[in-house]
Copies of this chain bind each other. A is one copy, B any other.
Amino acid sequence: MSYKEIFSYKALIESELEKRVVQRDAPEILKKAMLYSLSAGGKRIRPCLMLEFYRCLGKNPDEILNFACAVEMIHTYSLIHDDLPCMDDDDMRRGKPSNHKVFGEDTALLAGDALLTLAFETACDIDENIDASRALKAVKYIADASGLTKMVGGQVLDLQAENKQISIEELEKIQEGKTAALLKVNAFVACTLANADKNTTKLFVDYCDCIGRAFQIRDDILDVIGDEKSLGKPIGSDEQMNKNTYVSLLGLEKSQQLVDELTDCAVKAIKKATENSENLCSLALKLANRDF
Contact = CB atoms under 8 A, between A and B. Distances in A.
Interface of A: 21, 24-27, 29-31, 34, 81, 84-87, 104-107, 109-110, 112-114, 116-118, 120-121, 124-126, 131-133, 135-137, 139-140, 143-144, 146-149, 152-153, 155-157, 159-160
Contacts of A126: 136
A107 B81 CA distance: 12
30 contacts: A26-B148, A26-B149, A27-B148, A29-B156, A30-B156, A31-B148, A81-B110, A81-B113, A85-B86, A86-B104, A86-B106, A87-B106, A110-B155, A114-B148, A114-B153, A116-B116, A117-B146, A118-B147, A118-B148, A120-B120, A120-B143, A121-B147, A124-B139, A124-B143, A126-B136, A132-B132, A132-B133, A132-B136, A135-B136, A139-B139
A131 to B, nearest CB: 8
Nearest to A77: B113
A84 B87 CA distance: 13
B110 A113 contact: no
Contacts of A87: 106, 109
Contacts of A152: 30, 110, 113-114, 117
A84 B137 CA distance: 33
Nearest to A142: B120
B159 A106 contact: yes
Nearest to A134: B132
Given A120-B143, A124-B136, A30 B148 contact: yes
A117 B147 CA distance: 5
A28 to B, nearest CB: 9
Total copies of this chain within the assembly: 2
B147 A27 contact: no
Contacts of A124: 136-137, 139-140, 143
A143 B148 CA distance: 19
Contacts of A25: 149
Contacts of A120: 120, 139, 143
A119 to B, nearest CB: 8
A131 B132 CA distance: 9
B105 A153 contact: no
A116 B118 contact: no
A22 to B, nearest CB: 11
B86 A153 contact: no
A80 to B, nearest CB: 11
Contacts of A143: 117-118, 120-121, 124
A147 B135 CA distance: 20
